[in-house]
């Protein structure tokens, strides 16, 4: 009965077609916070949306039992905005909070200093996940679980630049069953890091959990935003390295795109159907979903970073931009006041909003490898509260000074990255 009512609420949210004007300034939704990182000296930053450092500090300082972190890498520098976060993490560990940090093996060689420093703190344990040896990908996820109650997931790496030199979007979800689902996936990867055996992992992946996980078919209601339910579920990649009882990201993202009817907004660093990593080839599912959306009358608006202007990605994006109904823009941020910073001043967010009522916030770029070989994670939200916040963030950039409409007749040079 409860599951039937929940599915009815989800279906009602999905089928809502019109977007009343009053939703443009929807109140914050219970159980979910949209979080934004704002590069200094830019016009980014939606009023009322909390910033990443403040949210991370609040979660860490409020921890009483356990903090689990999956991080692509950890990179700090003295007096950065990340330093107080790492200090807070060490302080909670010294106070008796169990801290477990999972990092990627491939990038560890270039970012060992901060990891080594944290490993020396009593109460902090670090494990390295060799995803490259297992699937050819990397651990690209960026999420944190606190006390089995709260989850942060988003595009923000544990990198000082991700707090004040890069545009990022994430979400904090406060729900016990949602957090337990994330924790179970973290535990799966945590044990895999200790025993990196893919056949063994696949056997363990089918073992049912001891609780009811949150999935696309069985989501949670976080609360109500002005009398409308806010429904959420997590999703994970890649299929070969996730438990069989959680939702794969690609499946859920395609369903959201296919359900869009009016406007689909996408903001992601890179997007391409041409394989960039691994064997050469074509990634058809997402490409077909975007083209199909435009063909049935959906206005598809895409913002990518100027980092996406390398070839053949630039040509692929032009193949989308030439279609009626699809508009592609690329963002180019001004330099930092102190001058050039390697791997910074870029649009790094990875989210989408469909019809101002469904939203996706992920950790991976929209390329085949991020969904099929790389460890990533995301949250799907149905409800106009969080969707309207993300729409405002998107529209601020879409109409702002840093974006340029992609001209299919013009050749663009990729920017300097390092």
Judge whether 95 lies within some domain: yes
Rounded Cα distance, 376 and 17, in Å: 31
Side-chain half-sphere exposure of 76, counting CA atoms within 13 A? 18
**Res 229: pLDDT:** 86
pLDDT-derived band at 111, boundaries 50, 70, 90: confident
The contacts of residue 383 (CB under 8 Å, 6+ apart) are 13, 29, 222, 225, 228, 229, 230, 231, 357
Judge whether 83 lies within some domain: yes
DSSP of 74-108, one letter per residue?
EE--TT-SSHHHHHHHHHHHHTT-EEEEEEESTTG
**Res 262: pLDDT:** 98
Please determine, for residue 61, whether its predicted confidence score (pLDDT) is greater than 60.
yes
Count of helix runs (H) and strand runs (E) in the chain: 13, 18
Please determine, for residue 10, whether its predicted confidence score (pLDDT) is greater than 80.
no
Judge whether 120 lies within some domain: yes
pLDDT-derived band at 279, boundaries 50, 70, 90: confident
Model pTM score: 0.92
3-state secondary structure of 1: coil
Residue range 387-399: average pLDDT? 97
Please determine, for residue 25, whether its predicted confidence score (pLDDT) is greater than 90.
no
Tens digits of residue pLDDT in 332-373: 999 999 999 999 999 999 999 999 999 999 999 999 999 999
For 195-241, strand residue ranges (E) read 220-225, 228-237
The structural domain count of the chain equals 1
**Res 227: pLDDT:** 64
Rounded Cα distance, 49 and 56, in Å: 14
Judge whether 8 lies within some domain: no
Domain containing 342 equals: 29-205+214-405
What does DSSP say about strands 220-225 and 66-71: parallel, antiparallel, or unpaired?
A: unpaired
Q: Could you tell me the CATH number of the domain that includes residue 102?
A: 3.30.870.10
Rounded Cα distance, 55 and 72, in Å: 19
Judge whether 169 lies within some domain: yes
Judge whether 4 lies within some domain: no
Judge whether 283 lies within some domain: yes
Judge whether 396 lies within some domain: yes
Rounded Cα distance, 67 and 97, in Å: 7
Share of the chain above pLDDT 70, in %: 92
Count of CB atoms within 10 A of residue 252's CB? 20
């Amino acid at each position: 009965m409860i599951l039937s009512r929940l599915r009815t609420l989800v279906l009602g949210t999905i089928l809502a077609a019109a977007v009343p004007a009053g939703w443009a300034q929807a109140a914050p939704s219970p159980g979910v916070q949209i979080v934004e990182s704002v590069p200094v000296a830019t016009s980014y930053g939606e009023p009322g949306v909390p910033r990443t450092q403040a949210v991370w500090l609040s979660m860490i300082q409020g921890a009483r039992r356990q903090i689990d972190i999956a991080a692509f890498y950890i990179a700090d520098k003295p007096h950065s905005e990340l330093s107080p976060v790492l200090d807070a993490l060490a302080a909670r560990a010294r106070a008796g909070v169990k801290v477990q940090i999972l990092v990627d093996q491939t990038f560890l060689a270039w970012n060992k200093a901060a990891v080594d420093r944290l490993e020396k703190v009593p109460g902090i344990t670090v494990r390295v996940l060799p995803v490259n040896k297992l699937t050819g990908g990397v651990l690209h996820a960026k999420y944190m679980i606190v006390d089995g109650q709260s989850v942060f997931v988003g595009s923000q790496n544990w990198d000082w630049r991700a707090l004040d030199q890069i545009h990022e979007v994430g979400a904090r979800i406060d729900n016990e069953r949602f957090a337990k689902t994330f924790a179970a996936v973290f535990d799966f990867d945590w044990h895999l890091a200790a025993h990196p055996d893919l056949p063994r992992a696949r056997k363990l992946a089918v073992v049912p959990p001891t609780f009811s996980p949150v999935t696309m078919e069985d989501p949670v209601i976080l609360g109500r935003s002005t009398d409308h339910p806010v429904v959420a579920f997590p999703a994970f990649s890649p299929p070969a390295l996730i438990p069989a009882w959680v939702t794969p990201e690609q499946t859920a993202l395609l369903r959201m795109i296919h359900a869009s009817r009016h406007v689909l907004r996408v903001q992601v660093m890179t997007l391409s159907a041409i394989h960039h990593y691994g064997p050469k080839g074509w990634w058809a599912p997402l490409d077909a979903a975007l083209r199909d959306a435009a063909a049935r009358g959906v206005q598809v608006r895409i913002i990518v970073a100027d980092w996406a202007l390398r070839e053949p990605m630039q040509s692929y994006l032009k193949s989308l931009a030439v279609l009626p109904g699809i508009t592609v823009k690329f963002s180019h941020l001004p330099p930092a006041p102190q001058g050039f910073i390697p791997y910074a001043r870029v649009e790094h967010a990875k989210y989408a909003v469909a019809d101002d009522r469904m939203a996706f916030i992920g950790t991976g770029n929209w390329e085949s490898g991020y969904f099929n070989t790389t460890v990533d994670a995301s949250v799907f939200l149905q409800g106009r509260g969080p969707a309207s916040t993300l729409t405002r963030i998107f529209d601020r950039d879409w109409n702002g000074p840093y974006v340029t409409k992609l001209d299919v007749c013009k050749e663009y040079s990729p920017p300097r990255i390092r």
